[in-house]
Structure 1
């Protein structure tokens, strides 16, 4: 279909709100009960944009993805509410990472569903997850503040989803269909281990996608999934054909309480409350910092690295080269400092610290992988105007910790600061951004 024809068809679809969601059952693998549905977007039947992949590709080319996403999310919750979906069933709807804002005004129907006892789950796709994770995580905090849950979709399809999973803190982990349908091997085992570690520590539910036959069902159970989805349980159907007939499940999945917002307090103060600080001069801490960087390099595409250097000028040319090299393989690399530009090096995300931010007197390095976590947090005692490498007598109080919850607290706090301050003000709100529906893949 020529692009011009697609553009015209897309214009008409958006103007007429002609998106027809369908709903696919999500099943408890032990009981076989339907415990929820996922809303999937479809264009008008018989139109050139009926297929979701064609529809969303056209919206991307026309730079109208956010507009289409907003329409899909609205139609998904409206149709579910109109068809009488009620609790304790769940409604999963998808969110495109690149379309989210940092403030949230949900569609009325999503709040209405929540009041009916429906577990509304915003499902974030792994596609584009690393493009602007701080924005995505801020949006997830807003979703949870409304009482909704968060799911991470397609886990295992890309290493970034594993690396950023502890930062998004999903209440539901959705295993990519490739895992369920693949032959066992080292790659599957690595993903299974990372998901199991996260689920064990967080209480998250594990849901397997792509269950299409008894062998897939057995594989889903073996991978640790308690929920399943796929053609074996049913294809997507219109709301009127599936939702009114759903019965409450005999056993409701153990929904974890939505996670609270990420604190932006001093990382040093947070860690020092739990661990006794020590005192050292700059050379020792530089050696420790570089050791952590080497650990991140070994983790490769499963690493998240976030560091704070007090001021942008302390991010020296030598340090820039090291972090630029890390960014070529790691899932995410971020650096902070007063006056730090948004993109200090290719692939490195920067964050400018406000003058009153306690981080402007702190030096922190946090490295997180699925099975490794370490953070060095230090408080500057001298306030020297030069980088630590140029001042060997400069003194710090510091804590080095491998306690995973503490490290994640530090890393989340640092990563949240890579979101520009202007992006979290009411003046920059996008139009209504409740929960969204995107094509199944």
Structure 2
């Protein structure tokens, strides 16, 4: 499409006349106009090529489209004159010269005794690009680019002076489809933990370009991890599995912080916190048990060792691990009637180290008691702490009973609950 546009532009300028001599056309990659100091201007046709390539081509025709003979000339900048280049006496409607080197070309088109003269410039445009990484540290790496390009100078045909073709040369560094920089030699800060190929492209407004690649081997890690912490089942002792998801690391250091509120109290009472770290682990995927209730933070430091540097990255858990406080809770009724539902008067508790349960009838007589120490969670270990509604193996009478529960939580707080509840026997 671009080349078709260039040809269309040339033909249009020819038909419109004016100061531009445009009866030479070209299937070029780009087209520009000369900036002579005086007189009519000529087209400059740009052909994208490789270094040393001569791919330019020009086509001339008589303005009326009649058959003609063609005398091609080439400009000599040393003498500021045109010299014979190639003749075409085929009496054809057009003449094309190919494989043209850079320079200015003129053609005398002779038809029916009349001569028309046209002039155009040819540029074979190329870029030779190189790319390297000159420095790589934990903080950044240095991309270094360089390029050479085809000459883009031409002559003012009136004065012989040298002029420069403006190409608007630009550069870009990309990693995959992501633009990294528009500088030729940028420093890339916060380097990625994954190795990647970086591509340097040098290009101009005419669509000519050159490319070079360089491989960046990362020496930095990226720390990341997840846990199986479930806030809905988080009573102490609370065991949490930590899964390492770090990238490009070979050493891991885990820091388990003390309870947040404990540190706040210590800071308020003593003016500072003596040590915020509770434990340190060097495992890749540690399993940690929080013995006491509290609000806890975790930090992971991932390390990458290379021949040039030792790089570290740090990440924190984006939420607190909360081991619930101890509590005791009792229902206000139960129905031991063998229907399979609500058969046991069951004390619910969380984060308790020990518990003592006593149940009394309305006259104050103890009908049930049980004590436990070294308790686990309610779901796993609490079933044998419930009263099945029997006294001495016989069903107790329906009515109102009284419970007293005492114990000590894993937060070392004494807990006590007491109150009335109903025993219903009806079907």
TM-score, length-normalised on structure 2? 0.20
The structure whose residues are more often helix, as a share, is 1
- Higher RCO by CA contacts (8 Å cutoff, separation 6 or greater): 1
TM-score, length-normalised on structure 1? 0.20
